[in-house]
Structure 1
């Protein structure tokens, strides 16, 4: 099979029909009839699954992978890639914020400049000031903590070769941060500036974004643990210096020290640092706990596909 188009479904009922039509047209122009459209239902609460299954009854190019519950966008994408059979795989969101027509654009770019991945980046990040500000600082802090220069404002839409996807699927993390996996898989990856439309309300709340940030940092860097060590070392050095100062003052000045406020402040400061440091260590321990259990990161309830004649 020459081409697989992979997309995930979550509250996507309003977009499925148009996405299917436009993606099918693009695929036919590019490879004729030798393609498939893999739709992964990530526990969507609306009737996205029913609409997708209905497509399999009329179009044998459509394959629907129904997950047993909502596992999250990144894990659903990895599951879709695992079910894709094409020589080239086009990954895209179904909500039409990224146009299916980018498939031809990316394919032409891949042909003119041989590479394994052509991925879309926003020339200007969409959304309100909070989304733009949080997105900007996410990449700054991630780069500072991990040393990995993730492409800023990268979107889901990307065309990949078979060998790249096979290499990507060798990662077996239980806690998936797919942007990081895209980067560390390597190969030749070329960005392509695109415009991302604002067609739907994002399902990524501020809490989910913060959780994603913590997961991304702890998945790809031990910087927080190293930071704990150096912070503890700095506090110990300050304590030693302060102790020497107190002894010196007691020996040569013999004045009573008035320091109730400073003592209490120090106790609260050290107590807060200890608790926060234990929390950071706990996050890493929870990841070790999750990885050692080796549970599958998604469970497929059923795969729907029409048998080709």
Structure 2
């Protein structure tokens, strides 16, 4: 009997867990030909999320959990899930039920047909505001043009991964992760399923504007070195423009003589060049910061509990 792991990172989802569990049980009962594991990754929740998971574990042995020692972020929580999953395939999904568990039935059908990565593509983005929706689409467009791999637009983390995909992702241990890009980078045989994303039933999203902005920066710097090339091109263009302006100023001085004019132009040019330099230094700093974090070789996360077992640092 093949085993399916439902991998669910959670952070302060106390209110959603009972409803989520009931929907998952309905999914499991519809697919009795598989063995099932529900694996929660508690990402340092500050509410009673862990207590609720422990209660579910006491009544259902199919429920497993990993409790991280603090909030490491969803990207790292998914890596922890890949490390602990035991299924022949793994379904990554959120706890807020905006991604419907009923879609897993179709994912399993395509998996049996031989697909390795069956991902859910959103026809609409649920309760998102117009501004956030437009910014998201713009980000995917920019990332697609900068990256050498095919970045899938309107595709989140909701997907079914064959075990060989999971084993491959385990080997990718970078600290600053953009998992949506890694899903595309590893390749394998993919299949899309379109769906309408629902609204959150309870609680509120922990993804603020600044967290999404940080994720966007991680996505660009993780998937492409194009920003470094853009900084280089800007430097070359500024140098050429400065040289042309110097030639123009020299010819003008020879023809009309030296006049004490152009002070505003001088200030504008200085500010412009200074801005380009600061921008370039910022881009370089982003990549140097990533190198700094990787060279420390710290573990990506620390798990303090796995089900009822206390974990030490080395585990």
TM-score (ref. length: structure 2): 0.92
Name structure 2 gaps, 5 residues minimum.
310-315
Give, in angstroms, the shift of residue 169 of structure 1. 1.6
Give, in angstroms, the shift of residue 28 of structure 1. 3.9
Identify the residue that residue 187 of structure 1 maps to in structure 2. 188
User: SS state of the match for residue 207, structure 2?
Assistant: coil
Identify the residue that residue 50 of structure 1 maps to in structure 2. 51
Give, in angstroms, the shift of residue 147 of structure 1. 3.7
The answer to whether 1:120 aligns with 2:120 is yes
User: SS state of the match for residue 191, structure 1?
Assistant: strand
Identify the residue that residue 222 of structure 1 maps to in structure 2. 225
Q: Deviation above 6 Å: which 4+ runs of structure 1?
A: none
Q: Which moved more, 1:164-173 or 1:29-38?
A: 29-38
Alignment partners' CA distance in 2, 1:195 and 1:45: 31
State the aligned residue count: 305
Q: Which moved more, 1:58-67 or 1:126-135?
A: 126-135
Alignment partners' CA distance in 2, 1:32 and 1:20: 19
TM-score (ref. length: structure 1): 0.94
Change in Cα spacing, 1:80 to 1:285, as seen in structure 2 (3 Å) is same
Give, in angstroms, the shift of residue 156 of structure 1. 2.5
Q: What are the within-5 Å matches in structure 2 for residues 154-233 of structure 1? A: 154-199=155-200, 200=202, 201-233=204-236
On the 8 A contact 1:3/1:88 being kept in 2, the answer is: yes
On the 8 A contact 1:26/1:101 being kept in 2, the answer is: yes
236, 241, 244: which one aligns with 2:239: 236
Report Cα offsets for 1:231-283 as digits up to 9, x if no partner.
Answer: 11111111111111222222233242511100111111111221221111111
CA RMSD of aligned residues (A): 1.7
Q: What are the within-5 Å matches in structure 2 for residues 99-138 of structure 1? A: 99-111=100-112, 113-126=113-126, 127-138=128-139
On the 8 A contact 2:144/2:150 being kept in 1, the answer is: yes
Name structure 1 gaps, 5 residues minimum.
none
